[in-house]
Every structure is written in C-alpha cells, then in structure tokens.
Chains A and B, each alone.
Chain A
C-alpha cells in the first residue's frame, strides 16, 4: 500500500497530488510536464515535498508536519531511470552487485541467477556499460534495482529513450517482472499502450494535479 499526499512548488510549476494505491503496478500517466518525475522523485526521497506525507504500508517516509524525511538511501526503494545510469567504472557484474553491497545483504546466488535469467543478462556480466546497447543497459538497470531487494520499484519511462524496436524487446521483460518478481511497482509513462499492458491501477496527472484514478478505463481511448 503506497499512500501519497504531497504538494511542492517548483518555480512556476505547482504539484499537488494525493492518491493511495494497492496495485501491483501503479501507473503514473500524463503528458510531459505533468509532474510525473517530480512525484516519483519525492517517493524515492530525492526531492522533499513542501507539505504532505508519503507512506508505504505502515511506515512513514515523509511527513512534513512531524519533520520526518527518510533519506533516499534508507528507503529501500528501487529506481530505474529513463537513462539507466549504470556506473561507467564498474562492469555489469559489479553494477548488479552494488545494491547488495551497499545494503550489506548476504550474497544470494539463487536470487542473482533468477534475476539474470529473468532479464537475459547472463552473457553481459563481464562487459562495461559503454559496451552495451540501449536495451541491454536498461535491462541491467532493472536487474541492479531488483537485486538491492527493494520493497517498491519505481520505473521512470524506462522505455522512453529507446526506439520502437527496442521497446518491443523490453516490454515482455517488464510484464515478466510484474508477474514473477513480486515487487510492487510504480510505472511512469506518457504512453497509453504501455499503461494498458502493464498497470493495474492508474493515476492520471495533468499540470500537477491528479485528474483521474482507477483501472485502464480512465485512459484515453486508443
């Protein structure tokens, strides 16, 4: 259960969003500039709300009235960025292992094998990020976030920087992730097709406000 009730002023832009979602995949849907990325940056702890609360299940992550702000590195929330952001000085294996090391988790070979199989990245382990295609990079970024054992996974337009062919290549992995990985996700996109394919609940944003909440029926007709 993810509960968000926040407001934030960013220059001229004001964001005021409130929703509670129980879905396996919560879709944040809206045109660019609607405030989707600011919203998930707040969920991730990278951006502080001016006012409001953010909570997962019974744990409060942000509560401006009580001056609660859990820093990003203690939230256990995975984040897959549009631009992958793999660490260029580490190879794929070290990138995948990074979250486990930082969270001081025990080495779990079975989990590692499951994630590398799920994403078909077993053959890339010795490469550097500079030697990967855009689609491969995004799959490694997904694996890296998953192996940190997050309780929630944020995906900010993970297909946004890919061409059509690559999108078709990645989308099935995301569906598998939703059905097999068992981690609730927040999926940000401006693409109604992706939303239909993946999201179980949809939060529709326009100019910093939530204008609709519900199932696939709130999406504009294809």
Chain B
C-alpha cells in the first residue's frame, strides 16, 4: 500500500513546487495589496477589493478559462509574453503556479489585511515623529507587527494552492510530469480501473501535507505573537 510509485512522486513533487512558487510570488504582492486596502483610500478601491476576492466566489472553471483566454498562447497577455520575454504559461507547470496563485490570493490577502488593520496607527505616527519615512515605518513597525497575519495568510494560501484543481486543470490540463498535481493525479486515478489503491495513497499524502502545514502555521503564529507582545 505504501509503496509510492515514481509517477506518484512526480505528482507530489510538482504539487509542492507549484504551491511553493505560487505562495512565494504571491506573498509580496499580497502584502502590497493588503496594505493598500487597509491603509489607503483611493478611487476605485471597492473595485480592487471585489477583484481580489473574485476568485473565491467565481466557479474555478471560469477562472481557469479566463486564464486560458488571457495567458494562453494566443491570449492577449500570453502571446505578448511569449514573443517578447519568452515566458509561456499554457500547459506548463508555471501556468499551474499562476492558476494556484490567483485562486489562493483571496485567502492570502485576507489575514494580512486584517493584521495590518489591527496595527495601531498611533505607533506608526510615533515612528514618523522619530524620523522614519513612510516606507521605513512600514518595514520597521507595520510589517513586523503584522507578521502573524502574514504567516497565517501564507499557510492558508499554500494549502489552497496545494488543493487547487478546477482552474488548474482548465488552464494547463493534466499532463503527467508537467501539470499533473496531486489533485489531478487523484482525479485521473479514480477514473482508471484498479486505480483506487494509488488514489488512496495520494489521499493520505494530501492529508499529511495539510496537517503539516497547519501545525507549522500554529507554531509560526505563536512564535510571532510572542515576538510582538514581548513576554
């Protein structure tokens, strides 16, 4: 039962790579968006707010199809990227990372935004009177104090990215070794005669990864809270 085949290993490694890259690329962007939504008022803010949360409520197949239209080989952005920068998303693992990044973005942004909103603005003012420019206030006060939320957002985003299925399979299909993640591998296996045992193995692996992520996030969050409250 626990003899994981090379094909299954490939899917596991690919899932981890896709989710890690998606989370690492989305995090700085998510912090920026969360800060804008928490701290700035600008024209069109409700629209940005809605756009960020849209992947959460849209059917994943719709998001995947929109990605295909935009970032596909003949898509508006996809064609330009391929011609000018040589970057191709369609049917590549990078496309899977893009789909996972977008699908997990709302879950990543929300805790970060909440934790930035919870940072006392009077501390930021005090830092300003001590000579810190707005950018340095952000780096030395806001971000360290919001760190528990940033870590929580990263873990949630990672967990969502690992489990993403609908948008990924629509956008980059289900190619073993390139775009076949754990989820799409399970999907293929349960449609294959005698695939049940292999599917179950991958189910167990998913559970282990999810549990490890949750335990890690608890641990990080506690460490970060201790840092912030200093006891």
Contacts and interface: CB of A to CB of B under 8 A. Distances in A.
Interface core residue of B120, B125, B128, B129 (most chain A CB under 10 Å): B129
B131 to A, nearest CB: 4
B231 A85 contact: no
A91 B130 contact: no
Chain B interface extent, by class: 20 to 34
A4 interface: no
Given A87-B123, A88-B145, A102-B136, A145 B130 contact: yes
Interface in A66-88: 71-79, 81, 83, 85, 87-88
A80 to B, nearest CB: 9
B230 A73 contact: no
Contacts of A76: 131
B141 interface: yes
Contacts of A75: 129
Interface of B is mostly: helix
B230 A148 contact: no
A31 interface: no
B130 A144 contact: yes
Contacts of A145: 129-130
Contacts of B84: none
B126 interface: yes
Contacts of B123: 85, 87-88
Interface of B: 120, 122-123, 125-134, 136-137, 140-141, 144-145, 227-231
Interface of A: 44-46, 71-79, 81, 83, 85, 87-89, 91, 98-99, 102-103, 128-131, 144-145, 148
Q: List the 3 shortest-distance A-B pairs measured between CB atoms, nearest first.
A: A128-B230, A99-B130, A102-B131
17 contacts: A45-B129, A46-B125, A73-B129, A76-B131, A85-B123, A85-B125, A88-B123, A88-B145, A89-B228, A98-B140, A102-B131, A103-B130, A128-B231, A130-B231, A131-B230, A145-B129, A148-B130
